[in-house]
């Protein structure tokens, strides 16, 4: 959504909150408005794909051109937030900034240029926020729920029951890392895909003692899952109301996997639901989804449009109430 698309009414009656998520592949903005009854309603979302994690596995550093690109996007986002008269804005950094040798240097540059501090959150904090956000409008789920957030550089696995978090771990695997390691951005052979799948299965097996043995359902949040839903629904324009609550079966995911595997990254952009910037890394994410469902022997995954950013905002709202 461009700046020219902004149309506001009177914003003064109820507060607006914003969260910017500096991820490995994307930089995401979410603005919500707190209604008079206390409910939070999404009023603006934006995504850009500077890919801070590009080449990070090889060099251990974020490229200067990626820093400059991201800084430009952040300036845009702050202008949008200002136009919405946002009262509180939280800027959080995740896997790429945690891992990069110059991640701290970039955070300092952001604060120096924009006057907004970057809060570098741990994998465990990332997991907690994702759980809080993903389940914030899914109060009717019964039994133990596993929330999975597949990022570009790390993936979070969080579980609990009745909205109460029971445990969480962050694993150092994600769609960008898999794409770079197994060259999944082009047409991909079954052998290549199975090699990537075996690596994911191995990571999950190694972490199995720290993960729940069984769950009632799996909820998927963040870009890989919402893109899968958009492809399935053949959405030319992203619509969070249609995405949120969509259930995807193993068979539907397998069909999307086979279709993506046989296409080059540019050709994948011809499919409704794939946003420019995600076309080369989506296959790695889909392979992860397949392995997660296999690991817990679940026939389907429930998609949540809410996740980390919504969870951060919920925490900020609570903090505001306590002040």
- Mean pLDDT over 296-319 rounds to 90
pLDDT by residue (tens digit) across 50-98?
A: 888 888 878 889 999 999 999 999 999 999 999 999 989 999 998 888 8
Confidence of residue 25 (pLDDT cuts 50, 70, 90): confident
Of 28-32, 237-241, 262-266, least confident by mean pLDDT is: 237-241
- Which residues, including other chains, have CB under 8 Å from residue 306's CB and lie 6 or more apart? 133, 134, 136, 137, 221, 244
pLDDT cut 90: percent of the chain above it: 49
Q: How far from each other are the two terminal CA atoms of the chain, in whole angstroms? A: 34
In this predicted structure, the answer to whether residue 11 has a pLDDT above a threshold of 50 is no
In this predicted structure, the answer to whether residue 227 has a pLDDT above a threshold of 90 is yes
In this predicted structure, the answer to whether residue 2 has a pLDDT above a threshold of 70 is no
pLDDT at 5: 36
**Domains parsed from the chain with CATH numbers:** 3-120 (3.30.420.40), 124-308 (3.30.420.150)
pLDDT by residue (tens digit) across 156-166?
A: 899 999 878 89
CA distance 137 to 30: 16
In this predicted structure, the answer to whether residue 6 has a pLDDT above a threshold of 80 is no
CA distance 157 to 148: 5
- Which residues, including other chains, have CB under 8 Å from residue 188's CB and lie 6 or more apart? 182, 261, 262, 283
pLDDT by residue (tens digit) across 85-140?
A: 998 999 999 888 888 899 999 999 999 999 999 999 887 888 888 888 899 888 88
CA distance 188 to 281: 12
Give the residue carrying structure tokens 């999944």: 184
Beta strands at 119-120 and 88-93: parallel, antiparallel or unpaired: parallel
pLDDT at 256: 94
């Amino acid at each position: 959504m461009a700046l020219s698309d902004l149309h506001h009414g009177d914003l003064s009656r109820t507060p607006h909150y914003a969260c910017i998520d500096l991820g490995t592949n994307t930089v995401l903005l979410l603005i919500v408005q707190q209604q008079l009854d206390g409910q939070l309603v999404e009023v603006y979302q934006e995504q850009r794909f500077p890919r801070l994690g590009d080449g990070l596995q090889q060099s251990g550093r974020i490229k200067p051109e990626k820093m400059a690109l991201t800084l430009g996007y952040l300036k845009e986002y702050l202008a949008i937030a200002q136009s919405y008269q946002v009262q509180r804005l939280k800027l959080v950094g995740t896997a790429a900034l945690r891992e990069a040798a110059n991640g701290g240097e970039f955070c300092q540059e952001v604060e120096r240029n924009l006057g907004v501090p970057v809060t570098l959150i741990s994998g465990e904090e990332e997991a907690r926020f994702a759980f809080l956000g993903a389940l914030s409008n899914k109060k009717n789920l019964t039994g133990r729920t596993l929330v999975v957030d597949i990022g570009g550089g790390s993936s979070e696995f969080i579980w609990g029951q009745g909205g109460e978090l029971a445990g969480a771990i962050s694993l150092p695997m994600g769609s960008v890392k898999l794409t770079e390691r197994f060259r999944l951005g082009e047409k991909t052979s079954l052998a290549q895909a199975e090699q990537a799948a075996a690596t994911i299965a191995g990571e999950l097996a190694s972490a199995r003692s720290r993960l729940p043995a069984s769950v009632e359902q799996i909820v998927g949040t963040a870009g890989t899952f919402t893109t899968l839903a958009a492809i399935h629904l053949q959405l030319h324009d992203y619509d969070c109301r249609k995405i949120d609550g969509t259930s995807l079966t193993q068979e539907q995911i397998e069909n999307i996997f086979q279709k993506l595997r046989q296409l080059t990254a540019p050709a994948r952009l011809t499919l409704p639901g794939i946003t420019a910037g995600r076309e080369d890394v989506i296959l790695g994410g889909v392979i992860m989804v397949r392995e997660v469902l296999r690991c817990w022997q679940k026939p389907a995954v429930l998609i949540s449009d809410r996740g980390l950013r919504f969870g951060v905002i919920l925490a900020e709202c609570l903090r505001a109430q306590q002040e």
